[in-house]
């Protein structure tokens, strides 16, 4: 089983905000692999579990192999995300290699994604709490760029605000690529996913498979 966790805050007032882009990636991934038929249905059909909304099922990967996916949206608010992640990971006795965290990143431009096999929290409250709860930073993470905050705008106000129309035009394709990157990670591993999608982020062009 692969555990894919999208970070965000619960509640209608946070839908579409920059800090909730991790939730949007899970919506898109669930549609892409056929676990739901519409983004709005994730929250309706998912079950309450692990202090979050959980949706799971078999997913077909390249080469005909199937892998069970657990998609999890913690409902603990961002700075307590670790409780939900730790609970799900421990219940299924998953290794760090089976865990992917999807989050927003102020250091990346909108339209860019970046994968890492491990690393620091980079100041992200959700990632910091996950590292605290798990006692390790040795799990994969996929960052989706939300642009750096404008001068004189408090960071909290910026991340809890909604994308501008211009940003939305760039972030929607990035959400699609993030879903593709997760499938590559699940089927081929983090190195293959990094080699393909981080290269795209640097060049600005999709990397074609050989």
Could you tell me whether strands 99-105 and 140-145 are parallel, antiparallel, or unpaired per DSSP bridges? parallel
Q: How many C-beta atoms lie closer than 10 Å to residue 173's C-beta?
A: 12
Sign of CA dihedral 37, 39, 42, 43: negative
- Tell me the C-alpha distance between 179 and 20, whole Å: 15
Task: With a cut of 50, say whether residue 209 has pLDDT above it.
Answer: no
The CATH number of domain 2-203, selected from 3.40.50.1470, 3.40.50.2300, 3.40.50.300, 2.30.42.10? 3.40.50.1470
Rg of the chain, C-alpha, whole Å:
16
Residue pointed to by tokens 């408090």:
154
How confident is residue 200, by pLDDT bands cut at 50, 70 and 90? confident
Task: With a cut of 60, say whether residue 71 has pLDDT above it.
Answer: yes
Q: What is the largest CA-CA distance in the chain?
A: 51
- Tell me the C-alpha distance between 67 and 98, whole Å: 11
| pLDDT tens, residue by residue, 40-57 | 689 999 999 999 999 999
- pLDDT of amino acid 37: 84
Residue pointed to by tokens 């993470």:
141
Q: Give the mean model confidence (pLDDT) for residues 98-112.
A: 97
- pLDDT of amino acid 64: 84
Assign residue 133 a region (left: φ > 0; alpha: ψ between -120 and 50; beta: otherwise).
Answer: alpha
- pLDDT of amino acid 204: 55
**Active site amino acids:** 19
Check residues 207 and 108 and name the one with the higher pLDDT.
Answer: 108
- Tell me the C-alpha distance between 136 and 120, whole Å: 10
First to last CA, the chain: 28
> What is the crossing angle of helices 125-134 and 81-91, to 10°?
40
| pLDDT tens, residue by residue, 23-44 | 999 999 999 999 998 766 899 9
Domain ranges of the chain: 2-203
Q: Give the mean model confidence (pLDDT) for residues 158-186.
A: 98
Q: Give the mean model confidence (pLDDT) for residues 163-178.
A: 98
- pLDDT of amino acid 203: 59
- pLDDT of amino acid 62: 87
- pLDDT of amino acid 39: 63
- Tell me the C-alpha distance between 52 and 47, whole Å: 8
- pLDDT of amino acid 202: 67
Task: With a cut of 60, say whether residue 188 has pLDDT above it.
Answer: yes
Computed over every residue of the chain, the mean pLDDT equals 94
């Amino acid at each position: 089983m692969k555990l894919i966790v999208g970070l965000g805050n619960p509640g209608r007032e946070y839908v579409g905000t920059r800090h909730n882009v991790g939730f949007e990636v899970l919506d898109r991934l669930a549609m892409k692999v056929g676990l739901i038929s519409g983004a709005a249905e994730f929250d309706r059909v998912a079950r309450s579990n692990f202090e979050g909304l959980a949706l799971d099922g078999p997913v077909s990967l390249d080469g005909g192999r199937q892998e069970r996916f657990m998609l999890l949206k913690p409902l603990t608010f961002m700075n307590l995300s670790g409780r939900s992640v730790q609970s799900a990971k421990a219940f299924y006795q998953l290794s760090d290699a089976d865990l992917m965290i999807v989050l927003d990143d102020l250091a990346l431009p909108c339209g860019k994604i970046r994968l890492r096999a491990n690393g620091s929290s980079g100041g992200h409250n959700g990632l910091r709490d996950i590292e605290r709860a798990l006692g390790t930073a040795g799990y994969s993470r996929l960052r989706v760029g939300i642009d750096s905050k404008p001068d004189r705008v408090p960071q909290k106000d910026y991340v809890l605000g909604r994308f501008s129309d211009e940003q939305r035009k760039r972030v929607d394709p990035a959400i699609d690529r993030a879903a593709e990157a997760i499938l590559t990670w699940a089927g081929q591993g983090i190195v293959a996913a990094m080699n393909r999608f981080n290269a795209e982020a640097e060049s600005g062009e999709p990397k074609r498979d050989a």
